[in-house]
Structure formats: structure tokens, C-alpha cells
Chain A
Amino acid sequence: MPKLSLLIEETAVVLRDIQLQQLPMLTQSKDWQSKYRLLMQLGKPLPAFDASLQRDDFLIAGCESKAWLLHEYHADSRRHYWSFDSEARIIKGLVVVALCQINGLTKDELVTIQFDQLFALQGVQQNLSPSRQNGLQAVLKQLCKQAGLAD
């Protein structure tokens, strides 16, 4: 029986915690300082990619900071899992926000998700620079591709 890699399992636990605890705090935070402070802390508990995982084939093209996305499909449960790392804290936090909403879902569940809304955080997304926006779009595209969805 194919098993998930340790990295993906560890990430899944962390993402669940974030979804339950930090995500509500993030949506409730009023001023930009607390929002960004939280966002930058979000990626911290995620297991970091070591040099062997910072591979070019995991690299997201179009990000202004280097960013790596790893995808695993669990055939038995038909669930999709991801892990992510980036040199930059804000992009990592934003992608974590997206991932904790979709990690461990089946394709049937994923088709009901509005991917373009995954980063929709009041007062964050609209304020991102054009290069950041492009990076996030590149991540979304890759997520959809890996999940076998049309982007």
C-alpha cells in the first residue's frame, strides 16, 4: 500500500492546525500589521524543504522569490496532498492559507473549490504588488494541474 512521505504527513498535521486555529484569527485581524504579522508566522511550523527538495522540478516559475511545491496523490484514499516552501515569508504564508483549505481533499471535493478565492484575504490580496500577484497565480495554476483540474 503506497504511503505518504513523512514531509507530506507532517505538513498535513500542521495545515490542519492552521486551518482550525490561525486562519480564523487571520480573517478577524483588523489592521495590516497584525494581519501580516500572522501571515508571516503562518509558514513557520511547516517542515522546511532541505536542499534535496529544493529541486528545479518543484520550483514555481513566475515567483519573484524562489518557491517549491510538492504534490503527492494517495491512490487508496484518492486524496491530494501538498507541501510548500519559499524563501519569502509572505508568499509562504499566503500559499499556506490556500493549502490548508484544500489539502487532503479528493478530486470530487476539489472541483467544488473556487481556486481563485483561496487567497482572498480581506486587505491582503488586493494590496500585493503585480509581481507577487503573478507568483500566486503561478502557484494556483500548478495546484490545479497537479490535482488534475482544468485551471
Chain B
Amino acid sequence: MTFDIAAFRAEFAFFDQHPDLVYLDNAATMHKPAAVIDAETGFYQRFNANVHRGAHQLSQQATQKFEYARDTVAAFVNARAREEIIWCSGASHALNQLAYGLIGTVLHPGDRVLISALEHHANIVPWQFHCEQQGVALDVVPLDDDHQLNQLEYQRLLALKPKVVSISHVSNVLGHIQPVAAMIQQAKAVGAITIIDGAQGIVSQQPDMQQLDCDFYVFSGHKIYGPTGIGVLYGKLPQLELLRPLLYGGEMIQQVSFTGTTLNQLPYRLEAGTPHIGGAIGLAAALAWLQQWDQPAMTFHKQQLLQLLFTGLSQFPAIELLSQRQNNAGIVAFNIKGEHHSDVATLLDQQQIAVRAGTHCAMPLFTAMGINGAVRLSLAPYNTQQEIELTIEAIAQVLEMFN
């Protein structure tokens, strides 16, 4: 196993511009390697044209590149077919499409949807909104004392036979990895449609759709080295066919007259309007680039940093850790006793440590934990041991300043 951290980090021009910055806000967005920037820029420089519709060669080339990007994503997640990959703007868009698309087609009054207490707002609010309007019940898997999903409660709520189960792979606040493989199987056993929010999971573990066997899986490009504004809704074909489109217009239509409209086939049926072509090409470049690196060695490096961070933080009695050390994808949420998380973040920012503070689009999780927010440190493989040491020193300085 080899992972050359110096070589890996050198792929990111961002760090040349910010040599003194310790960037630990990777769960919010990741930096982009040259391969991604070059691919997206190169598209605009050399192949820019609209896809699927031009009567010229350039449009043909753009279409090829765009559809090849779909193939790359399909291969990355081990989809059964390229049509299982639907482009969207990100995980939030995909989850909104799913909630909207399943209401009235799969979900009817009296049905139930099951989510969890540690979901991102994007996997709560669309369900809440549509379920309430349609008289569909929304159940929530609660947390254990150690901030993991309570699996006994999950079993109990599955017994209520939800039609849809939508769970995140990795908590965006805590970093905790849910046992999604088992949870999917259990949900399928009661006949539920299964959705995995892979926004944070995708970058920690390359997902295998045929092995996981979920019905839907969503992720954002920018959280896996790709551009912003592009993401993926993966779905099995029969389940994608069930979805009522969220948006209409453009390539998603086959035939229009004022007496009726027929929709195009998958994947285009769910891709209204001109897609984010450059973004799709950039995302495919990110995935192709990522696969050139030794994944287990990279994961090992990130885990080493995580353990170093935990060890460093554990030496301060005033620090209250919300994240668990084990089964963690690379996120540490914490607070300093008696201090507000935003003060901690500001004092870290003064020392060039970029973190996020607040409720991280997961207010119900904080309500469940009984606190009003936290500081979040989220790691990426381009982070170094030295950066973790600097972070621990900076936190020691913050603690000293509060005294």
C-alpha cells in the first residue's frame, strides 16, 4: 500500500494559493485537482456546444463527451446500466426529485416514509413537505446515546411497513457510518423502496450499486473532488420509471402537441433543460482521476489523521466530543465547554484553520443531542499530519484565550 501524500496534494493548485491555510471544511466542499479543472475548462475551450440536438459535428462531440461522463459514473458506482445515472445539480436536487417523484405514484395517503434523526435537511424537508400535503406519515429512527442510529428502533419502525426508507450513508455532522448494507436488506424485506444519501459517503467508500442493491443512491459532485452544480441520482430502471419528473422541458420530452405530450425515455426523461455539461465532464474526470490512486492506502492515511485528531482533542478536558472514534468516515464534531461554537470557529479562523460551526443543515440532530451547534472538522486525504498538529496547537491557543 502506497499513498504519496506530497504528490497527491500537489495535484491541487488551491494549496499553492493558500500555503498557510489548514482546510478542514471538506464535508462542505472539497478542493479540485488539476484533472477536474482541466477537463471542465477544456470542454469550454474545445468542445462547447449543446448536447443531443445540434445539427453539427461539434454538438456530436460534446454529446459523446457528456454521455461518456455518464458511463464513467455508471462504472464508478457499478451500475447495471448507464441509464441508471441521472444528472442533477446535487444531492439536494436528487432528494427533492425523489420525494416529489414518489408522492402520488408510490406514496398515497396513509402510507409511511422512514428517515433518521441524523439526516441532512435535504433528506428531511422534501419528505416533510410532500408527506404532510399527501397525508403520508413520516417516521424518524432515533439516535443511541453514542449518537449512532438505534437499530432496535429501526426494526420497530420497519415493522410499520414504510413504503420508502431514506437514510444517509455517513452523517454530515458526526462522520458516523451507518450500516447501510444491512439496513437496505432489512428495508427490502418489508417491501420498502430504499434510498441512500451518499453525499458524505461517496468520498469515503466507493459504492457498489449491485452489491448494496438499494433502489436509489444520490450524491453531489463537489464533495468528491468534482465541480459544484453537478450531482447524480442513481436509480434502478423500474424504480426510476416510477418517478414523476420534478422539471419539464427540453430533452426530457419526445413529442408535444396541445392535446398531449409524451416523455422521452430514461435517463433523459428526468433531465429537463440543458444539462450542466461541463460539470458532468468535470465530475467524470474527478472519478477517473480518483481511481488512479491507491484507495485503501488513501483511506488508511485519512484514518490515521482522524485518530491523530481524536487523540489530540482527547487531551483537553474542556473539549466535548460528539463524534465517535470508531466507525467514522473522517469528521469530528466537538464543542468547548461553556463556549459558543461560533467563537471557537472565529478564533480558529484567525489561525488559518478553516472549519464549519453551527448546525450544519441538520437541526433535528442537534435537537436530539440537546445542544445548539458544534464545531466540525472534516478531513480529506490531502490533509497532512502537520496540519493536524497545527490544528491541535490552534485549539490549545483557543482554550488558552477563553481562560
Contacts and interface: CB of A to CB of B under 8 A. Distances in A.
Contacts of A40: 343, 401-402
B357 interface: yes
A40 B344 CA distance: 11
A113 interface: no
A65 B346 contact: no
Given A37-B401, A64-B358, A127 B343 contact: no
Majority-rule SS of A interface residues: helix
Contacts of B357: 64
Contacts of B397: 33
A127 B349 contact: yes
A126 B401 CA distance: 21
Contacts of A131: 342, 358
A87 B338 CA distance: 10
B340 to A, nearest CB: 4
A88 B343 CA distance: 6
Contact of B346 (A33, A87, A128): A128
B316 to A, nearest CB: 18
A129 B350 contact: no
Given A64-B358, A127-B350, A129-B349, A88 B401 contact: no
Contacts of A127: 349-350
Nearest to B397: A33
Interface in B309-351: 339-340, 342-343, 345-347, 349-350
A32 B350 contact: yes
A90 B342 contact: yes
A99 to B, nearest CB: 19
Interface in A22-78: 32-33, 36-37, 40, 64-66
Q: State which size class the interface on A falls in.
A: 10 to 19
Contacts of B134: none
A129 B344 CA distance: 12
Interface residues of B, number: 15
B345 A129 contact: yes
Contacts of A66: 372
A37 B400 CA distance: 10
Contacts of B343: 40, 88-90
A73 to B, nearest CB: 30
A132 interface: yes
Contact of A36 (B340, B345, B347, B358): B347
Given A36-B401, A37-B401, A64-B358, A87 B349 contact: no
A65 B342 contact: yes
A90 to B, nearest CB: 5
Interface string B364-399: 000000001000000000000000000000000100
A33 B401 contact: yes
A32 B342 CA distance: 17
Nearest to B349: A129
A66 B358 CA distance: 11
A132 B350 contact: no
Interface of A: 32-33, 36-37, 40, 64-66, 87-91, 127-129, 131-132
Interface of B: 339-340, 342-343, 345-347, 349-350, 357-358, 372, 397, 401-402
7 smallest CB-CB distances across A and B, nearest first, come from A88-B340, A88-B342, A87-B340, A65-B342, A32-B350, A88-B343, A89-B343
Given A89-B340, A90-B342, A131-B342, 20 more contacts: A33-B397, A36-B346, A36-B347, A37-B401, A40-B401, A64-B358, A65-B340, A65-B342, A66-B372, A87-B372, A88-B340, A88-B343, A90-B343, A90-B346, A127-B349, A127-B350, A129-B345, A129-B346, A131-B358, A132-B346
